[in-house]
């Protein structure tokens, strides 16, 4: 079967990174889709190459839609604070959750906003979630979740849910505050009008995208964000370019370096909302956990210097240089989980399968050693907890290995 052509189509159409894990899942997905449509794999492949709708349907379940309520809550609180200030300034802020999977992320934000502002004012914000995976979007609209989605949830969150069988359904009031659309983040980003968004959540999506696609996305987000807005990524996502964004005080959050004047502080009563939903497009490596803020010319016996150097090289696509620097970091601090994580990640990025194999072993061993620590402890030189780093390792092994 011409699976290679399909992979190529997914890369050029949606920016998906070509890697062996994706190829394996794609094969399984095409086989299942062919069986359910009483067609051969060859016929489905040819159809998908001709018809965007079929290609889009093949992306269902292709990626790991791993998410949960209040994930990296400090980032969501930053966005909620910004949105709250805008609403109190009588503005109508607009937030886009790009790659929202089954909706836990944008719903978490809607819940935090209601807690901060009350029901009436919270409704002034528009929150839109989009995802390539149509099944995930349907699940997001249904807003019915099992216990895995609440794995780090505080007790108070249960007030927003009602039991539905053995699951929990989000109250209709919050459901009504988030709109979902199926779509490719690259197309959607291009479709937003300039400066119309107050916050973009782009967390744990870049891991599926090629470097070029991520760069394209960052450039579009710099255009569509209000100068006072924020781009939020997972601490393990590649950072946006420094000429376009500047880091905020919260790890993984960035403000645009815009020379445009900021928007007027107040909106006349009754004025239309600033942003409109872009037309639905036809069919439709992680930064530093917490990049140590250290001088790259710092001391050569400080593992954080090597860690930062390796992370930069990795973000620039130089996996060979990154491996050498991160090896030095691990040599200097063999018990430092962040150095070991990054060394493993750099190895998984290698074009040589033996090096990738070593990366898998390195990450597997790191996970075993993390399992001996309390899940809520923080790892050294990083903002993640032990449990979060273990989740990240699972994710990396699934996606990159
Ligand atoms: C790991 S989930 C992240 C969910 C949520 N943002 C979070 O961090 O909890 C990644 C999601 O990105 C979506 N995705 C990947 N590539 C995409 C693309 N080109 N356009 C839209 N969504 C995409 C996948 O379908 C998946 O649901």
Q: 44 and 88 share a domain?
A: no
Q: 7 CB less than 6 Å from ligand 1?
A: no
CATH number at residue 129: 3.40.50.150
Number of structural domains, the chain?
Answer: 3
Q: Are residues 223 and 88 in the same domain?
A: yes
Which atom of ligand 1 is the closest one to the Cα of 97? 6
**Substitution site in 204, 205, 206, 397 for ligand 1 pocket (most atoms within 8 Å of beta carbon):** 205
The answer to whether residue 276 is domain-embedded is no
**Is 159 a domain residue?**
yes
pLDDT value of residue 264: 47
N- to C-terminal Cα distance for the chain? Answer: 23
* Pocket of ligand 1 contains residue 149 by CB under 6 Å: no
- Distance from Cα 58 to the centre of ligand 1, integer Å: 15
Picking from 10, 195, 168, the residue whose alpha carbon sits closest to that of residue 103 is: 168
* pLDDT of 302: 76
pLDDT number for residue 383: 62
Boundary of a domain, candidates 256, 290, 324: 256
Atom of ligand 1 nearest to the CA of 202: 6
| 288 found inside a domain | no
Residues pairing with 280 in the sheet: none
Residues 221 and 316 in one domain: no
Return the ligand 1 atom nearest residue 62 CA: 25
Cβ atoms of residues 208 and 93 within 8 Å:
no
Give yes or no: residues 98 and 131 share one domain.
yes
Instruction: Evaluate: CB of 99 within 6 angstroms of ligand 1.
Output: yes
- In a shared domain, residues 192 and 339: no
Task: For residue 273, tell me if it sits in a domain.
Answer: no
Same domain, 33 and 89: no
Burial string for 90-115 (b: 16+ CB within 10 Å, else e) reads: ebbbbbbbbbbbbbbbbbbbbbbbbe
Residue 336: give its domain's CATH number.
Answer: 1.25.40
Distance 350 CA to ligand 1 centre (A): 23
The per-residue pLDDT for 284 is 29
Give the domain-ending residue among 256, 276, 311: 256
Question: Average pLDDT per run of 10 along the chain, which is 401 residues long?
Answer: 88 94 93 96 96 96 93 97 94 96 98 96 97 98 97 96 97 98 97 95 96 98 96 96 96 85 42 40 34 40 78 75 84 82 86 83 87 83 78 77 55
| Residue 279 maps to a domain | no
Q: Are 180 and 97 members of one domain?
A: yes
pTM of the predicted structure, to 2 decimals: 0.70
Does ligand 1 have an atom closer than 6 angstroms to the CB of 205? Answer: yes
Instruction: Please indicate whether residue 289, judged by its CB atom, sits closer than 6 Å to ligand 1.
Output: no
- Whose alpha carbon is nearest atom 27 of ligand 1? 101
Q: Is residue 65 part of a domain?
A: no
Which pLDDT score, from 0 to 100, does residue 399 have?
A: 65
Give the Å distances, CA to CA, from 93 to 8, 85, 98, 232, 275.
Answer: 37, 9, 16, 16, 8
Answer for the pair 393, 366: CB distance below 8 angstroms, yes or no. yes
CA of 137 to the centre of ligand 1 (A): 11
The domain in which residue 220 lies consists of: 73-256
Do 31 and 80 lie in a common domain? no
Residues 53 and 91 in one domain: no
In a domain, 280, yes or no: no
Q: Are residues 84 and 53 in the same domain?
A: no
Pocket test for ligand 1, best of 11, 101, 286 (most atoms within 8 A of CB): 101
349 within a domain of the structure (yes/no)? yes
- Statement to judge: residues 82 and 110 lie in one domain: yes
Q: How far is CA 188 from CA 10, 42, 54, 129, 185, in A?
A: 16, 31, 19, 11, 5
CA distance 327 to 310: 9
At which residue do the structure tokens 């095409």 appear? Answer: 30
CA angle 234, 237, 240 (to 5 degrees): 105
Task: Give the per-residue pLDDT at 386.
Answer: 85
Q: Same domain for 161 and 51?
A: no
Atom of ligand 1 at shortest distance to CA of 14? Answer: 19
């Amino acid at each position: 079967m011409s699976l290679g052509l399909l992979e190529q189509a997914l890369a050029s159409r949606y920016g998906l990174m070509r890697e062996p894990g994706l190829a394996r899942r794609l094969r399984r997905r095409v086989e299942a889709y062919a069986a359910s449509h009483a067609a051969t794999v060859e016929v489905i492949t040819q159809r998908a190459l001709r018809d965007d709708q079929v290609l889009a349907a093949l992306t269902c379940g292709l990626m790991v839609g791993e998410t949960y309520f209040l994930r990296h809550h400090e980032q969501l609180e930053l966005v909620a604070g910004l949105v709250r200030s805008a609403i109190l300034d009588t503005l109508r802020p607009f937030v886009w959750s790009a790659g929202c999977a089954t909706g836990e992320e944008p719903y978490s934000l809607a819940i935090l906003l209601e807690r901060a502002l009350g029901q009436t004012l919270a409704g002034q914000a528009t929150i839109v979630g989009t995802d390539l995976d149509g099944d995930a979007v349907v699940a997001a609209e249904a807003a019915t979740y099992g216990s895995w989605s609440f794995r780090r949830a505080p007790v108070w969150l249960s007030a927003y849910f009602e039991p539905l069988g053995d699951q929990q359904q989000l109250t209709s009031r919050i459901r009504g505050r988030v709109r979902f659309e199926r779509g490719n983040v690259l197309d959607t980003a291009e479709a937003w009008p300039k400066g119309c968004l107050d916050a973009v959540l782009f967390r744990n999506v870049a891991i599926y995208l090629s470097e070029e696609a991520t760069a394209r996305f960052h450039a579009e987000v710099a255009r569509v964000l209000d100068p006072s807005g924020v781009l939020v990524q997972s601490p393990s996502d590649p950072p946006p370019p420094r000429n376009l964004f500047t880091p905020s005080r919260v790890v993984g959050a960035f403000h645009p370096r815009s020379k445009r004047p900021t928007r007027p502080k107040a909106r006349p009563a009754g004025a239309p909302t600033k942003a409109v939903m872009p037309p639905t497009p036809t069919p439709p490596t992680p930064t530093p956990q917490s990049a140590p803020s250290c001088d790259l010319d710092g001391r050569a016996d400080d593992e954080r210097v090597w860690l930062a150097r390796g992370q930069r090289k990795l973000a620039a696509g130089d996996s060979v240089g990154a491996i050498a620097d991160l090896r030095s970091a691990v040599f200097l601090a063999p018990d430092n989980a962040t150095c070991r994580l990054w060394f493993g990640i750099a190895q998984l990025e290698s074009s040589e399968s033996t090096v990738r194999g070593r990366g898998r072993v390195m990450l597997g061993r790191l996970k075993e050693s993390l399992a001996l620590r309390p899940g809520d402890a923080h790892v050294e030189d990083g903002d993640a907890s032990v449990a979060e780093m273990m989740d990240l390792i699972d994710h990396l092994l699934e996606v990159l290995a």
